[in-house]
């Protein structure tokens, strides 16, 4: 008999039983659970609150980190323990109706159809104006990163700001996307896209974009960025014309898939009837958007790319690169080996967690199915990582962003870059932990959708929680390290 149909310890056949009493409404119970998890996170932040954010992301050199008032191992272990404790707390929530009511709750805000039509026109126009303007100013504008329109728009405006808007509010990229706006107005669909490719081209494209961002001058030399924009535009428009805009931007284009996946974390979503509000992250449970190993690889790549960009701009990362280069290896080969090797390790660790869960449960559900179903929680982790890496960067450069958008042809001679208070470091830690706590709940809800037995639902999460704890420990360790410019780049 499959384990999923075996009897549970209480002697039942593993089918859901109804609670005898429900004295509290689900909002009150959710508030209580959230309060306990928040207390854990805040206690950790208070414990390690003297750690300043490293802002360890490519292009964010110059950030600093204060020294730890506690041993680094204790700080990292405490963060991992918070994730383990939150998983333990979540395991006590076994009422299926309560769990389902949380991730299925939504409210219709407005029919929104006229608003969406208006937004489509405005954002489409903005996209087709901003892209050529960024290319033009990248070539002709001042070659100073903090005042050049192209650099500030792409990295402060889009890489940081628009991505945060996407997972905090909703995905507006399909409306803004200038390449889609152009491709939809051209004859298209001349070639059938091979279904077997799935989203693997988007995975390769995302890895390639992050590699270019890390190892070339696109983050500091406006003309290089403008050249990259021209090349990317040519490939994207030609590809969309060949296979059709819908297929290209849903399965091939890494930027579009990037925003589409992050948008699933957001509380706002567009439906046929208009704009709906749901609890943050619940789209990761409700929406079946991850349906293959290609999607799993893309989700893991979102977590890995932030980890890698953080690592290479820390003192530990620079020391590692210098040590390997000192053995006679070409520096770019060292970076490539660390980049692809680390990605393979992240994917392998996650797939191993899925295999361990399948073997331990002796369930009819395969390793592949578990890997696919438990991948969406990692997007909550990626969103927390991104917010931790880029929030301070975005806030500090927001005056420059406003200035270049308001006057793209007359940049300010003395750009204002905000100096942030030390307590921003605590926010960074809180963002990381918040993403992981949300991931724990999403994984818990997913488990109860997969397995009829409560015992199996809880046990299925063990290996995935361990992976999340390792990710947490690694990210907090990176945050605690001083930053420095990458070696040899």
Q: Which residues contact 52 (CB under 8 A, 6 or more apart)?
A: 64, 65, 66, 422, 424, 425
Task: Give whole-number Cα distances, 396 to 60, 409, 417, 418, in Å.
Answer: 11, 22, 5, 4
pLDDT tens, residue order, the chain (489 aa):
333 343 333 333 433 433 333 344 545 554 554 555 445 444 444 444 434 333 433 343 433 344 444 566 666 776 677 777 777 777 777 778 888 888 788 887 776 667 777 788 999 999 999 999 999 999 999 988 889 999 999 999 999 999 999 999 999 999 999 999 999 999 999 999 999 999 999 999 999 999 999 999 899 999 999 999 999 999 999 999 999 999 999 999 999 999 999 999 999 887 766 778 888 899 998 778 999 999 999 999 999 999 999 999 999 999 999 999 999 999 999 999 999 999 999 999 999 999 999 998 878 899 999 999 999 999 999 999 999 999 999 999 999 999 999 999 988 778 788 888 888 878 888 898 899 889 999 999 999 999 988 889 889 999 999 998 888 888 888 888 888 889 888
**Cα atoms in the 13 Å half-sphere on the side-chain side of 426:** 13
Query: What DSSP letter does each residue of 63-112 carry, written as one string?
Result: ---PPPSS-HHHHHHHHHHHHHHHHHHHHT---HHHHHHHHH-EEEEE--
According to the model, what pLDDT value does residue 97 have?
Answer: 84
Helix axes 424-450, 377-406, angle to 10 degrees: 140
Same domain, yes or no: 172 and 313: no
Give a yes or no: residue 409 inside a domain: no
Residue span of the structural domain in which 68 resides? 24-105+281-387+423-489
Q: What interhelical angle do 462-480 and 424-450 show, nearest 10? A: 170
Indicate if 70 and 111 belong to the same structural domain.
Answer: no
* CA atoms of 191 and 170, how far apart (whole Å): 32
From CA 149, how far away is CA 138, in angstroms rounded? Answer: 7
**376 class by beta-carbon count within 10 Å (0-12 exposed, 13-18 middle, 19+ buried):** buried
Secondary structure letter of residue 5 according to DSSP? G
Shared domain for 267 and 303, answered yes or no, is no
419 DSSP 8-state letter: P
In terms of domains, do 332 and 377 share one?
yes
Q: Are 64 and 52 in contact (CB under 8 A)?
A: yes
Cβ(90)–Cβ(423) under 8 Å?
no
Q: Is residue 63 situated within a structural domain?
A: yes
Which residues make Cβ contacts (< 8 Å) with residue 280, sequence separation at least 6?
265, 266, 267, 438
- pTM of the full structure: 0.85
Question: Among residues 229, 256, 278, which one ends one of the domains?
Answer: 278
Phi and psi at 109, nearest 5°, equal: -90, -40
Whether residue 395 lies inside any domain: the answer is no
Q: Is residue 10 part of a domain?
A: no
Q: Are residues 239 and 356 in the same domain?
A: no
DSSP label at residue 1: -
Q: Quick one: pLDDT at residue 373? A: 95
Residues 70 and 47: beta-carbon distance below 8 Å:
yes
| pLDDT score recorded for residue 72 | 66
Looking at the structure, do residues 133 and 239 belong to the same domain, yes or no?
A: yes
Q: Look at residue 12 and tell me if it is in a domain.
A: no
Contacts of residue 416, Cβ cutoff 8 Å, sequence gap at least 6: 399, 400, 403
Q: pLDDT at position 54, please?
A: 39
Write down which residue in 278, 295, 326 finishes a domain.
278
Phi-psi category of 274—alpha, beta or left, where left has phi over 0 and alpha has psi -120 to 50? left
Widest CA span of the chain, in angstroms? 75
Same domain, 82 and 112: no
* Judgement on whether residues 213 and 80 belong to the same structural domain of the protein: no
DSSP conformational letter for 314: B
Q: What is the number of domains present in the chain?
A: 2
Predicted pLDDT of residue 270? 75
For 326-373, give the secondary structure using H, E and C: CCCCCHHHHHHHHHHHHHHHHHHHHHHHHHHHHHHHCCCCCHHHHHHH
Is 113 inside any structural domain?
yes
Instruction: Return the exposure string of 450-460: e unless at least 16 CB atoms fall within 10 Å of the residue's CB, then b.
Output: bbebbbbbbbb
| 415 assigned to some structural domain | no
d(C-alpha 266, C-alpha 285), whole Å: 12
Report strand pairing: 106-110 vs 268-271.
unpaired
Distance CA 453, CA 451 (A): 5
Task: Say whether both 466 and 351 belong to one domain.
Answer: yes
CB-CB contact of 212 with 228 (8 Å): yes
Rounded CA separation 238/253 (Å)? 12
269 has which bridge partners?
276
Query: Does one domain contain both 257 and 286?
Result: no
The whole-number pLDDT of residue 74 equals: 64
Task: Answer with the one of 218, 249, 278 that is the final residue of a domain.
Answer: 278
Residue 262, in any domain of the structure:
yes
Are 260 and 116 found together in one domain? yes
Q: Clarify whether residues 154 and 251 are in a common domain.
A: yes
The torsion angles phi and psi of 314, rounded to 5 degrees, stand at -105, 165
């Amino acid at each position: 008999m499959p384990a999923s149909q075996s009897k549970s310890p209480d002697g039942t056949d593993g089918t859901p039983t109804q609670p005898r009493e429900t004295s509290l409404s689900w909002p009150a119970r959710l508030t209580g659970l959230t309060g306990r998890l928040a207390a854990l996170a805040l206690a950790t932040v208070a414990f390690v609150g003297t750690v300043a954010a490293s802002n360890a992301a490519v292009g964010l050199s110059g950030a600093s980190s204060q020294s730890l008032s506690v041993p680094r191992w204790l700080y990292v272990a405490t963060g991992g323990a918070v994730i383990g404790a939150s998983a333990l707390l979540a395991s006590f929530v076994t009422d299926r109706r309560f769990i389902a009511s949380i991730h299925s709750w939504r409210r219709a805000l407005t029919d929104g159809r006229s608003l969406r039509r208006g937004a489509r026109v405005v954002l489409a126009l903005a996209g087709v104006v901003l892209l050529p303007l960024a290319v033009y100013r990248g070539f002709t504008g001042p070659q100073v990163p903090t005042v050049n329109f192209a650099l500030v728009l792409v990295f402060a405006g889009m890489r940081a700001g628009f991505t945060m808007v996407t997972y905090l509010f909703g995905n507006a990229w399909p409306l803004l996307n200038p390449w889609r706006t152009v491709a939809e107005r051209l004859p298209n669909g001349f070639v059938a896209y091979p279904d077997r490719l799935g989203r693997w081209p988007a995975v390769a494209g995302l890895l390639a974009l992050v590699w270019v961002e890390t190892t070339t001058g696109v983050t500091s030399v406006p003309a290089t960025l403008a050249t990259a924009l021209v090349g990317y535009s040519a490939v994207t428009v030609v590809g969309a014309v060949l296979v059709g805009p819908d297929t290209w931007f849903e399965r091939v284009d890494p930027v579009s898939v990037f925003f589409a996946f992050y948008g699933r974390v957001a509380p706002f979503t567009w439906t046929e009837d208009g704009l709906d509000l749901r609890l943050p992250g619940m789209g990761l449970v409700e929406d079946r958007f991850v349906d293959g190993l290609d999607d799993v690889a893309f989700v893991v790549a979102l977590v890995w790319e932030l980890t890698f960009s953080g690592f290479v701009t820390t003192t530990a990362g620079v020391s590692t690169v210098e040590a390997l280069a000192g053995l006679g290896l070409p520096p770019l080969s060292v970076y490539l080996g660390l980049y692809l090797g680390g990605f393979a390790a992240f994917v392998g660790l996650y797939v191993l967690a899925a295999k361990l869960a399948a073997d331990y449960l002796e369930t009819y559900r395969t390793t592949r199915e578990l890997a696919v179903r438990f991948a969406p929680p990692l997007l909550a982790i990626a969103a927390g990582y991104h917010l931790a890496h880029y929030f301070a960067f975005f806030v500090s450069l927001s005056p420059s962003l406003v200035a270049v958008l308001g006057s793209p042809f007359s940049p300010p001679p003395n750009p204002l870059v905000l100096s942030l208070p030390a307590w921003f470091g605590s926010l960074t830690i809180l963002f990381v932990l918040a993403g992981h706590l949300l991931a724990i709940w999403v994984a818990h809800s997913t488990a109860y959708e997969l397995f009829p037995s409560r015992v199996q639902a809880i046990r299925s999460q063990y290996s995935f929680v361990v992976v999340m704890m390792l990710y947490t420990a690694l990210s907090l360790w990176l945050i605690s390290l001083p930053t420095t410019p990458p070696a040899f780049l």
